[in-house]
Amino acid sequence: SNVSLASLTSSGTGATGIISLASTASTTATGAGGGTGRTFPEKMMDLMSQTTDPTLPTYSPSVNWLPHGKSFIISDPDTLVNTILPRYFPKSSKFKSFTRKLYRWGFRQISKGPDSGSYYHELFQRDHPELCVKMSVHYSDKELRTQADNAARRGGAGGGAAASGGGGSGT
């Protein structure tokens, strides 16, 4: 499945379960680099703005915008996971979990062309940070079933993790 930036900008992602930010309490979290109510894309935008500017003390060459500002590349996953992510996402301790979260929020990794290896989302752009608040979290059918099963086990009548605001790692 070769994906280029051009093909992503002209087609949808085909996600199964889409949950809007306004109706899902589990998509927000408290923690370093964000505070209560900040979504994953908002925290990610904070991370990108604070780690890609060489004039800031938080600069790190481990993650960078591509010159056009429409996708970013992770050049040093170890530094990202061990140094940067704990500041913004205290519960993300593994690179695989972090990339899974990127995919859940609709990011796609470019696999061909000059932007190969970078992560792209049409609403996540360096020069338009205000767009990221329009992003939605996408759960697969399997994830939605697991959430419902977990809510039922907790006795969560009428809602589950999203409605009760409890647990989950949707951030």
How far apart are alpha carbons 46 and 105 in whole angstroms? 16
Instruction: Kindly provide the residue ranges of all beta strands, DSSP E only, lying in the chain, ordered along the sequence.
Output: 17-19, 28-29, 38-39, 63-65, 71-74, 108-109, 119-120, 137-139
As a whole number of angstroms, the distance between CA 171 and CA 38 comes to: 9
- Flag whether pLDDT at 149 surpasses 50: yes
Cα separation of 118 and 130, whole Å?
21
What is the per-residue pLDDT for 165?
41
Q: 137: pLDDT confidence band, cut at 50, 70 and 90?
A: very high
Once rounded to an integer, what is the mean pLDDT over residues 159-168? 42
Q: What is the average pLDDT across 87-102?
A: 89
More confident residue, 141 or 105: 105
| Average pLDDT score over residue span 150-167 | 60
> pLDDT per residue over 27-54, tens digit each?
333 334 444 588 999 999 999 999 999 9
The answer, yes or no, to whether residue 19 has pLDDT greater than 60, is no
Looking at residue 6, its pLDDT comes to 55
Name the residue with higher pLDDT: 115 or 7: 115
Tell me the pLDDT tens digit for each residue of 77-93: 999 999 999 999 888 78
Determine if the pTM surpasses 0.75.
no
Separation of alpha carbons 163 and 143, rounded Å: 15
Sign of CA dihedral 161, 164, 169, 170: positive
pLDDT at position 92 is: 75
Q: Tell me if 8 sits within 8 A of 120, measured CB to CB.
A: yes
